[in-house]
């Protein structure tokens, strides 16, 4: 594949998009990518993101709108950003109109087995780390909670969507205005950056957008890393991202391809790696930020839809932490919601994903429920005989991380969230709901609940 780029600048006032930098700016930098396919490239592929879904490339160009007048971007950053958009479609080689560094070239071959050649030059020196910490900030509840664990002067970089000119409206229910609002409401100690792009529309399964590569949402942060003088990128991943959706302990708490970020001078940090969603909600509350997070992509700012699984889980959690029953009206909405009904009536793994957290919440709330909500409560009880670990931090997840940063993280965690004791750790490590799904007794009980 041949990839070229163009960087241009506009006055912010000439754009309708909410591109901003809390430090102030008059300009927007537009970065355009053009992809030219060669004989062994393909337009249908399997995503490199978790799930490895079938995807197809619908366009040959994408565009980013970044706040500020960015004159140059290190070639390795430009290249990594491009690979996060098209890597699964590349046959055997990728040629940029500029050479990348030798160090980056090596990390590309290690990370992307399909790529056998990328143009590099010994004259290009690697990007050196900056001095400021960055976070890829979504505005979601985990992102907001995890922001309590990062240094106060960090840059929060939001990747928001804008429709692609060659595709038009697609997934029009998906809103990002509430994520931008959440960012705006974050503490002033952070530098807040809102960037827009149409890249998410480039890869779809025909019905919805699918990330072509892991951590594709970090692309705006990559493109701005020089401008913002960044030395790290944090993400809002929680334990479930490392343990296989809370149902089975995985044992590793690092993104295995983090070296490709290190090759562009960015340490990859996941401060929420030892926390469940209960922990991030507790952190957000402690910082007074729980009411500004964006629960789901369906509703406007502070008006979550209450019909999707995320809203269901978050409201349950909030009730558990408040010690109150969910509003009867809301339970009524859940019991009619296709997403909640499908979770209640599923024998599949997808229905078991967050059961420890859900089980913990129902235990805390107590009381009787009805309909689909009650089915989920009974299922959660079946899978999770002891979900007490949900409200604690698993400190072992923080081993082997950057010391200075993690010291800050652990200090905040100790002030806010308790740590698991050894029996909770044992319970957590040995927990395997997927294995229970294969147990005939459990399957029978599950059937009787669903019936
Ligand atoms: Zn929702």
CA of 283 to the centre of ligand 1 (A): 21
CA of 334 to the centre of ligand 1 (A): 11
CA of 306 to the centre of ligand 1 (A): 5
CA of 312 to the centre of ligand 1 (A): 7
Q: Is the pTM of this model over 0.85?
A: yes
Could you tell me which residues are beta bridge partners of residue 393? 419
At 173 the pLDDT is 86
DSSP secondary structure string for all residues of 105-129: HHHHHHH-TT--EE-B-TTSPPPPP
Instruction: Say whether 424 sits in a helix, a strand or coil.
Output: helix
**What residues sit around ligand 1, an ion, with C-beta below 5 angstroms?**
296, 298, 304-305, 308, 311
CA of 309 to the centre of ligand 1 (A): 7
CA of 333 to the centre of ligand 1 (A): 11
Q: Measure CA 383 to chain center.
A: 26
DSSP secondary structure string for all residues of 307-332: SSHHHHHHHHHHHHHHT-PPPHHHHH
The full 3-state SS of 15-43, as one line of letters, equals CCCCCEECCCCCEEEEEEEEEECCCCCCC
DSSP secondary structure string for all residues of 196-229: EESGGGTEE-SSSB--SSTTGGGHHHHHHTTTTT
Spatial CB neighbours of 327, under 8 Å, sequence gap ≥ 6: none
At 119 the pLDDT is 98
Torsion angle of the four alpha carbons 73, 78, 80, 83, in this order, in degrees rounded to the nearest 10: 170
CA of 52 to the centre of ligand 1 (A): 25
Residue 220 near residue 182, CB atoms below 8 Å: no
Q: Which residues of 344-375 are buried (b: 16+ CB within 10 A; e: fewer)?
A: bbeeeeebbbbbbbbbbbbbbbeeebeebbbb
**C-alpha–C-alpha distance, residues 15 and 196, integer Å:** 11
CA of 291 to the centre of ligand 1 (A): 15
Residue 420 near residue 397, CB atoms below 8 Å: no
pLDDT tens for the chain, 451 residues long, are 999 999 999 999 898 899 999 999 899 999 999 999 999 999 999 999 988 999 999 999 999 999 999 999 999 999 999 999 999 999 999 999 999 999 999 999 999 999 999 999 999 999 999 999 999 999 999 999 999 999 999 999 999 999 999 999 999 888 899 999 999 999 999 999 999 999 999 999 999 999 999 999 999 999 999 999 999 999 999 988 777 667 677 778 888 999 999 999 999 999 999 998 999 999 999 999 999 998 888 888 888 899 998 899 999 999 999 999 999 999 999 999 999 999 898 876 655 667 788 889 999 999 889 999 999 999 888 876 677 888 899 988 888 777 778 888 999 999 999 898 888 888 888 877 777 777 778 788 888 888 7
CA of 314 to the centre of ligand 1 (A): 9
Report CA-CA distances (Å) from 268 to 161, 235, 256, 257, 428.
23, 8, 10, 9, 25
Torsion angle of the four alpha carbons 68, 74, 75, 76, in this order, in degrees rounded to the nearest 10: -110
At 143 the pLDDT is 95
Q: Which residues of 250-274 are buried (b: 16+ CB within 10 A; e: fewer)?
A: eeebebebbebbbbbbbbbbbbbbb
**C-alpha–C-alpha distance, residues 5 and 82, integer Å:** 9
**C-alpha–C-alpha distance, residues 351 and 421, integer Å:** 28
> Cα angle vertex 320, ends 250, 283, to 5°?
65
Helix (H) or strand (E) holding 422: helix 422-430
Spatial CB neighbours of 103, under 8 Å, sequence gap ≥ 6: 76, 126, 263
At 351 the pLDDT is 58
CA of 295 to the centre of ligand 1 (A): 6
CA of 238 to the centre of ligand 1 (A): 19
Angle at which helix 371-383 crosses helix 355-365, to 10 degrees, equals: 110
CA of 303 to the centre of ligand 1 (A): 9
Torsion angle of the four alpha carbons 81, 83, 86, 92, in this order, in degrees rounded to the nearest 10: 160
Residue 279 near residue 238, CB atoms below 8 Å: yes
């Amino acid at each position: 594949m041949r990839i070229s780029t163009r960087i241009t600048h506009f006055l912010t006032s000439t754009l309708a998009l909410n591109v901003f930098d809390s430090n102030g700016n008059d300009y927007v930098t537009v970065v355009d990518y053009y992809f030219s396919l060669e004989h062994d490239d393909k337009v249908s592929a399997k995503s490199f993101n978790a799930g490895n879904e079938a995807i197809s490339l619908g366009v040959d160009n994408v565009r980013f709108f970044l706040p500020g007048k960015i004159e140059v971007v290190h070639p390795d950053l430009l290249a990594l950003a491009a690979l996060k958009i098209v890597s699964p479609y590349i046959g055997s080689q990728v040629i940029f109109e500029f050479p990348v560094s030798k160090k980056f070239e090596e990390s590309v071959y290690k990370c992307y087995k399909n790529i056998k050649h990328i143009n590099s030059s010994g004259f290009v020196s690697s990007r050196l780390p900056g001095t400021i910490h960055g976070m890829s900030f979504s505005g979601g509840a985990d992102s907001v909670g995890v922001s309590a664990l990062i240094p106060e002067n960090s840059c929060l970089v939001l990747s928001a969507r804008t429709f692609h000119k060659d595709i038009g409206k697609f997934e029009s229910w998906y809103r990002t205005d509430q994520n931008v609002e959440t960012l705006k409401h974050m503490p002033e100690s952070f530098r807040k950056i809102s960037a827009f792009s149409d890249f998410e529309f480039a890869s779809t399964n025909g019905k919805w957008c699918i990330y072509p590569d892991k951590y594709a949402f970090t692309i705006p942060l990559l493109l701005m890393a020089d401008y913002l003088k960044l030395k790290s990128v944090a993400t809002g991943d929680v334990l479930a991202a490392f343990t296989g959706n809370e149902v089975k302990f995985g044992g590793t708490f690092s993104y295995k391809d983090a070296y490709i970020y290190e090759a562009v001078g960015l340490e990859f940090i996941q401060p929420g790696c030892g926390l469940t969603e209960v922990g991030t909600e507790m952190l957000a509350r402690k910082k007074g930020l729980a009411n500004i997070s964006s629960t789901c992509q369906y509703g406007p700012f502070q008006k979550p839809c209450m019909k999707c699984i995320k809203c269901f889980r978050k409201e349950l959690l909030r009730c558990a932490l408040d010690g109150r029953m969910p509003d009867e009206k809301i339970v009524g909405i859940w019991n009619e919601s296709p997403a909640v009904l499908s979770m209640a009536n599923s024998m599949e793994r997808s229905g078991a994903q967050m059961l420890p957290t859900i089980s913990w919440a129902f235990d805390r709330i107590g009381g009787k429920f009805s309909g689909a909500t009650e089915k989920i409560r009974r299922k959660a009880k079946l899978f999770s005989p002891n979900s007490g670990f949900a409200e604690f931090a698993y400190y072992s997840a923080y081993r082997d991380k950057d010391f200075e940063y993690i010291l800050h993280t652990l200090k905040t965690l100790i002030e806010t969230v308790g740590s698991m004791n050894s029996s909770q750790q044992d319970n957590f490590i040995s927990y395997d709901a997927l294995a229970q799904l294969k147990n005939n007794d459990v399957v029978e009980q599950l059937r009787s609940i669903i019936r």
